[in-house]
Structure 1
Amino acid sequence: MQKKTSSNQPLTPIGQVLDVIVDRCRSDNRGGIAHLIRIWEKTIGPPISENARPFAVKGDLLLVHVSSSAWLHQLRFLKDELLAKFNAGLESQRIGEIKFKIGPL
């Protein structure tokens, strides 16, 4: 049995490793969440896109993380307008509902 030699390289925290894996899984250019984020930023624009970002999609439901409870409250009033703008920027996929939740951007 061989003895393992230690490396002088620092250890990488598991959280960083998982972030990289999740980002790779979400970077599908054919309609993945990274594509939806780009469309969101383009169609919705600042300051909303700086404080709210698509996080997941399930069927025709888009889950959007927001930065604070104030933004959550405001975006609920703008939901129909945001949904129309976002769908106008999509080529084929359509979102039927947006749900806002406080979470990491």
Structure 2
Amino acid sequence: MEKKSRPNSTFTPIGQVLDSILDQCRSESGGGILHLIHVWEKAVGPPISENAKPFAVKGSILLVHVSSSAWLHQLRFLKAELLDKLNRSLANERLEDIKFKIGSF
């Protein structure tokens, strides 16, 4: 049996593909979710960013997936502070609320 040759033998790294897809998922205010993920990591710091990640934006509401119910509970107490930090770090966007949900990231 004869092997079929591939017309394009170069591969694209999965990280590059995911970055491209994530950057296309934009909020209504025009900012990319990928940009928001980077801002989140810098604004909230390692302990939180390791257990909570932005998942989606709808209008001015950010949906964040968290790793456990304990983190969900803790982040609800920190919501106002997190919103303030994020809004100071975002140039053109303004978030009005954060919703937390246990989910994978």
Query: TM-score if structure 2 supplies the norm length?
Result: 0.76
Structure 2 residue identity aligned to 1:82: L
Q: How does 1:1-105 map to 2 (within 5 A)?
A: 23-28=19-24, 31-105=31-105
Q: Secondary structure at the match of 2:72?
A: helix
Structure 2 residue identity aligned to 1:96: E
Displacement of 1:26 after TM fit? 1.3
User: For the residues of structure 2 that align with 1:96 and 1:33, how far apart are their CA atoms?
Assistant: 16
Q: Aligned Cα RMSD in Å?
A: 2.7
Residue-by-residue CA offset, 1:23-67 (whole Å, 9 max, x unaligned): 532124962111100000011111001100100000000000001
Identity of aligned residues (%): 61
Which structure 1 segments of 5+ residues have no match? 8-16
